[in-house]
Structure 1
């Protein structure tokens, strides 16, 4: 969607992607799972073939106890020495891998007029961190693909604290801008995403070229989930005066009267969203929408909770 002037295109400070998860959100993430629809095998314990954690497996690392962890995972000998709760994590190798495909085009810099310092990209970046934390907790390797005007950047899937640092660094360094890359630029990254890999694609998905790329990934045997991130202004169109609406990627603008445009805009926007949902469904892509003025818990639970499709 075009944004209404004044245009807010700044990006947050790099340290905004540090430890941004609240205790409540971390507790929720402990209950969620990334579930492939067609796991390549059933070895090991857990919800799917992955690097599973638990007793009797190869030790990986200690980490601080968090709400939602099972008490049996606590290392009580270490507690006796340190007076702090730590959890032992163990893992076993598995072919299952997860990727977050993040839209970093110019439209991701859009913000609501009521909250101009919170961009669509801020929220998409938080959701990316949440997906990685879910994968980390259940022992799955997780990688990152950034797609925007600067081209394509890739972080190879991995696990553990070093991988968390790699992902945080990549998210902190990226500056959204430009348009969705051409298919030729995407081909090397697409070749790294293997058949059966989980792909969680996070963006606004207004660009038909980007949507077609997701459909092609799904048709090629990748397990794709599309998470659309919308602004509240896109959902509500609250403008009550004359505006210049700016298409951020193409730079085109349109003068219009907010109240006069509202009914037609809302109808067209809903029609477009239903068409997008139908297109994804036809390709076997799971689809959900998140509006940036709402807590992320609802959409994360819908996609990755016990009742997730």
Structure 2
């Protein structure tokens, strides 16, 4: 159930998020610290001063020994989801999914997963004309708010200007910021935003999303390409240009990853044809490192 094509075919984002997150959680053994929580972990012998409400009286009746029930708890984390909704996210893969479709599914699943962990989760959608911002909350009505915003989003235009983004970077709150973007930019504006957010909130998980057909250049014959943000077109023979394209793409990806990590971001590349589990695994790993 982590296949993006299957999840997209459901045409029901809340259901898709639930299926993806719960499918991923099945069999996962999360790293948690022991304490007074909701999930049982193990017994330990009673010691003077322990809370008697945590005694297992049934076990005591059977064994004449007193044991304390330990449980597993998590420290909650504020999770800030960030979606690049510029026009390049309308790029369509061979499976019919746009990058935006994949990003929508992924962020919905991460929101569901975050709430399942007891986190306050919020969302900012980056539009060229302004920010759509839902502040982090952990109440029962937050997921419907986030799902509605994700279902309604349309990718358009170019990445927002620095002045448009100013209110976002002015907020100072420790959080795990998760950005999903294809990182197509003119003058390092996305990198600049994430650098400022790292100063403001502390932790950045950057999920670099590319379509399978642009990663592997699956095109054949004469093809006309259009820049979705500028409208410029380019016609070329895909078979003749494949090697050069792939060499230049790999060079760009290496430079992008190196720069992101130099800035202190936790960088991971995603293929829109692959299941969602890698991104969710990285989220939990990063989240656990913040809560411990």
TM range (shorter): 0.7 to 0.9
What is the match of residue 38 of structure 2?
54
More helix by share: 2
Shift of 1:104: 0.5
1:111 to 83, 92, 97: 92
Tell me the TM-score normalised to structure 2 length.
0.75
1:18 to 14, 18, 40: 14
2:109 to 127, 130, 133: 130
Shift of 1:306: 9.0
Question: Greater CA deviation, 16-25 or 215-224?
Answer: 16-25
Q: Structure 2: 5+ residue runs without aligned partners? A: 1-7, 41-72
What is the match of residue 240 of structure 1?
220
Shift of 1:220: 4.1
List per-residue Cα deviations over 1:217-264 (Å, max 9, x = no partner): 224452111001110111110111111111101111111110111111
Asked whether 1:196 is paired with 2:180, we answer: no
| Alignment partners' CA distance in 1, 2:225 and 2:250 | 19
Q: Contact 2:80 / 2:178 at 8 angstroms: preserved in 1?
A: yes
Tell me the TM-score normalised to structure 1 length.
0.71
Q: Structure 1: 5+ residue runs without aligned partners? A: 1-11, 36-45, 57-90
Shift of 1:20: 0.8
What is the match of residue 209 of structure 2?
229
Structure of greater Rg: 2
Q: Contact 1:149 / 1:176 at 8 angstroms: preserved in 2?
A: no
What is the match of residue 184 of structure 2?
206
Q: Contact 1:215 / 1:280 at 8 angstroms: preserved in 2?
A: no
Asked whether 1:181 is paired with 2:160, we answer: yes
1:259 to 227, 236, 239: 239
Q: Per the alignment, do residues 242 and 270 of structure 1 end up closer, same or farther by CA in structure 2, a change over 3 Å counting?
A: same
Q: Contact 1:132 / 1:142 at 8 angstroms: preserved in 2?
A: yes
